[in-house]
């Protein structure tokens, strides 16, 4: 994937950073520091950004948590149709977490 332009990150503390190179960022989606940290785990590193975008833009199901965060699920055919759960902040676009959900039921 080629790097195009800058990426704006919004953090939980209300601050924001603009990154200019792929060496500074591990993702092209708006994300929390927690998400960027967990992307280093082997079970999370396999999750492709396009899958996260797919789950956020075309979810099979959506639920709002009591803290205002939003859960969205999508099936990922490239991963044997496993269910990817993406947790977004209240703004509906900042990714806080993403993982394959073994307990997902449609």
pLDDT digits (tens, 9 = 90+) for 1-40: 343 444 455 455 555 555 544 334 445 578 888 998 888 8
Residue 24 lies in a domain: no
* Cβ pair 35, 98 in contact under 8 A: yes
* Overall average pLDDT of the 72-91 stretch: 96
* Overall average pLDDT of the 65-72 stretch: 97
Residue 43 lies in a domain: yes
The four Cα atoms 103, 27, 49, 79 give a dihedral, to 10 degrees, of -50
Residue 81 lies in a domain: yes
Residue 7 lies in a domain: no
The number of domains in the chain is: 1
Residue 23 lies in a domain: no
* Overall average pLDDT of the 71-93 stretch: 96
Q: Which domain holds residue 96?
A: 29-100
Bridge-based pairing of strands 7-10 and 16-19 is antiparallel
Bridge-based pairing of strands 16-19 and 61-64 is unpaired
Residue 5 lies in a domain: no
């Amino acid at each position: 994937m080629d790097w195009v332009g800058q990426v704006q990150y919004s953090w939980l503390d209300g601050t924001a950073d603009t990154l200019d190179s792929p060496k500074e960022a591990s993702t092209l989606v708006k994300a929390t520091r927690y998400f960027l940290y967990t992307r280093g785990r082997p079970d999370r590193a396999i999750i492709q950004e396009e899958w996260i975008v797919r789950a956020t833009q075309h979810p099979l199901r959506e639920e709002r948590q009591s803290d205002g965060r939003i859960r969205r699920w999508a099936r990922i055919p490239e991963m044997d149709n496993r269910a990817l759960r993406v947790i977004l902040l209240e703004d509906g676009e900042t990714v806080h977490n993403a993982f394959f959900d073994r307990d997902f039921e449609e």
